[in-house]
Chain A
Amino acid sequence: QITLKESGPTLVKPTQTLTLTCTFSGFSLSTSGVGVGWIRQPPGKALEWLALIYWDDDKRYSPSLKSRLTITKDTSKKQVVLTMTNMDPVDTATYYCAHSADGSSGDYWGQGTLVTVSS
């Protein structure tokens, strides 16, 4: 049974760096083809893909946010970490992590965590 859960701060101040952790179970991030991605959703708006890391440490980023994002994995801890620098109120959103069997879509998603950016 594959499960994922996001954790991190619920409130960050403008200009701060956000660090989110996705802790997963039921699969290994060393299995060929597997990836874990991050997706966000501002309140009442559509989904926006942020980043994805593959089993072989290949990392992909949203072109519009690439300069602010870093994605890393710890295979033994079964965690994927996303950092986003220079947070702004427009970054207020629910942040999801998702498992992808081959990188093309998210077949299992975490429950999401709401991050509010406010002073």
Chain B
Amino acid sequence: EIVLTQSPGTLSLSPGERATLSCRASQSVSSSFLAWYQQKPGQAPRLLIYGASSRATGIPDRFSGSGSGTDFTLTISRLEPEDFAVYYCQQFGSSPLWTFGQGTKVEIK
């Protein structure tokens, strides 16, 4: 079973700053099957990135994904007030089908 480890646990930044979130897999993950989600308090997760670097429908271009193998990154180029949330990475595998990381909280500094 592939384990996804996200770092840091919490990222304290100011609006306008750049956020860099890491997701490291215990084994190599196909880039086609790495996704990122945003979750705000009391809301369902929202798909941001799929296939490691493709933005989902309606996602602003300040969100970008990159990486391959075991190391993946979500970058928010300039934080907007609505971007402060928890972010999860997720991989698609054989068993279990979906595995999530433990999340990174992006909070206002």
Binding site for B on A (CB under 8 A): 37, 39, 46-49, 52, 60, 62-64, 96, 103-112
Q: Tell me the bound Cα distance from A113 to B31 in angstroms.
A: 32
Complex A-B: 16 CB contacts under 8 Å: A37-B98, A46-B103, A47-B88, A49-B100, A52-B98, A60-B96, A63-B1, A63-B95, A64-B96, A96-B44, A105-B92, A106-B47, A106-B98, A107-B57, A109-B46, A111-B44
Report if A63-B96 is in contact (Cβ < 8 Å); known contacts: A46-B102, A47-B88, A107-B56. yes
Residues of B within 8 A of A39 (CB): 98
Does A106 contact B96, Cβ atoms closer than 8 Å?
Answer: no
Interface size of B as a range: 20 to 34
CB proximity of A110 to chain B, nearest CB, Å = 6
Does A60 contact B56, Cβ atoms closer than 8 Å?
Answer: no
Interface mask (B82-95 → A, CB under 8 Å = 1, otherwise 0): 00000010101001
Binding site for A on B (CB under 8 A): 1, 32-33, 35, 37, 43-47, 50, 56-57, 88, 90, 92, 95-103
A-B contacts at CB below 8 angstroms, number: 62
Report if A46-B88 is in contact (Cβ < 8 Å); known contacts: A60-B97, A105-B35, A107-B56. yes
Does B92 contact A106, Cβ atoms closer than 8 Å?
Answer: no
Report if A62-B96 is in contact (Cβ < 8 Å); known contacts: A47-B88, A105-B35. yes
Residues of A within 8 A of B100 (CB): 46-49
> Chain A interface secondary structure, helix, strand, loop or mixed?
loop
Residues of B within 8 A of A111 (CB): 43-44
Report if A109-B45 is in contact (Cβ < 8 Å); known contacts: A63-B95, A104-B32. yes
Report if A49-B45 is in contact (Cβ < 8 Å); known contacts: A104-B32, A105-B35, A105-B92. no
